[in-house]
Amino acid sequence: MDALRLTQSVKDEARRLGFILAGVTTPDPPLHLDVFLDWLAQGRHGDMVYLASGRSRQRRSDPPQILPECRSILVLAVPYPSNPTAVEIGKNGKVASYAWGADYHDVLPERLKSLVAFIETQAGTPVPHRWYTDTGPLLERDLAQRSGLGWIGKNTCLINPRRGSYFLLAEILLGIELVPDAPFTADRCGSCTRCLDACPTACILPDRTLDARRCISYLTIELKDAIPLELRPQAGQWVFGCDVCQQVCPWNQRFAPAEGDPAFTPRCEIPAPNLLQELALTPEAFNRKFKGSPVKRAKRRGYLRNVAVALGNVYAGTGDPQVVAALAEVLKSDPEPLVRRHAAWALGQVGGEVARLALAQAAEFESDP
């Protein structure tokens, strides 16, 4: 089969497997490598030290270091739900919509393996390959733009003019020649600054990067320590991730499909978790509830840290007795100092004499400085 026919048949099979976008690029060095290296040099990756390792930098700068036989890179996208207005939030927590259903780290690898098997069948020979979905040392959005899937928007997301940005990316490095697509060179953000204006923590920067140290997604997922005091109020009700910069984007409001891939159909109680109920999750209950969910990545200690902050924000200044009682119990008995620390902060936010008394009592026996 010639390269053109093979490329088209691979794209057709990718779409059959649920990848709504499929493009091909070459294994050349990334166009935005200098932006990435400058971002690292300024420390904007926070505690994600794996991004800054020498080996990681080398491989991101030169894909053949990952697969020496690489001749083509197939870039794929699968959609997830994009209709947060359909979820009744009230005083509940908020979870980024990519995490409403199954974990894409569990879903997409099987599809990628199937696609590789199809490619090898069509080619009539084993094909050297390596696939990733947010798991390898690749500049994914750079590759996606080069393969024609869209442009990197001001909110740092890859935006497709027909699909918006509510999709997950995956890549297959292939030791076979496919026909590359023309890169997406247009910038269709124009003069719009809605994402920059709406970001709760002002983490989005003018050069289409963001300061991860201020990003709510980083703070609620990647950060393993305490959330900085000055950023806790801005986290609002978000307990895992954040969608604000996507929600306000005109391309999503006009074109992003409301429904995602069936694998990411929302699970009950995940999109808008009851904060008081979540605060009482034991380690066993947490593991049961979030088995197979991206939320498990935060671990119980990180998730309950986020829940405590959200409670402090939602009930700030109310002195709500039910909330105070729940937070006081956590401060008294939770085994994780990180959770107790944020429960103490939340009690201070909720306020009232009962909260003040709970803090005073806890100060007498708290072992963590």
pLDDT the model gives residue 324? 98
Report d(CA 167, CA 256) in Å as an integer: 9
Question: Has 207 been annotated as catalytic?
Answer: no
73 close to 173: Cβ distance less than 8 angstroms: yes
Condensed to tens digits (0 to 9), the pLDDT of residues 293-347 reads 999 999 999 999 999 999 999 999 999 999 999 999 999 999 999 999 999 999 9
Domain that holds residue 57: 3-80+102-174
Position 88 in a domain: no
Mark 198-235 as b/e (b = at least 16 C-beta within 10 Å): ebbbebbbeebbbbbbbbbbbbbbbbeeebeeebbebb
What is the per-residue pLDDT for 83? 72
For residue range 63-76, what is the model confidence (pLDDT) as tens digits? 999 999 999 999 99
Instruction: Tell me the pairing of strands 238-240 and 94-95.
Output: parallel
Query: Which pLDDT belongs to residue 86?
Result: 63
Residue 299's pLDDT is 98
- By C-alpha distance, which of 143, 145, 16, 155 is closest to 72? 143
Tell me which residues of the chain have a pLDDT lower than 50.
none
pLDDT for the residue numbered 296: 97
- One of 134, 197, 207, 225 is an active-site residue; which one? 134
| Same domain for 292 and 144 | no
Structural domain includes residue 268: no
Give residue 268's pLDDT.
87
Last residue of a domain, one of 120, 155, 174: 174
What confidence score (pLDDT) does residue 269 get?
A: 86
Q: Is residue 122 part of a domain?
A: yes
Domain boundary among the residues 145, 174, 203 is at 174
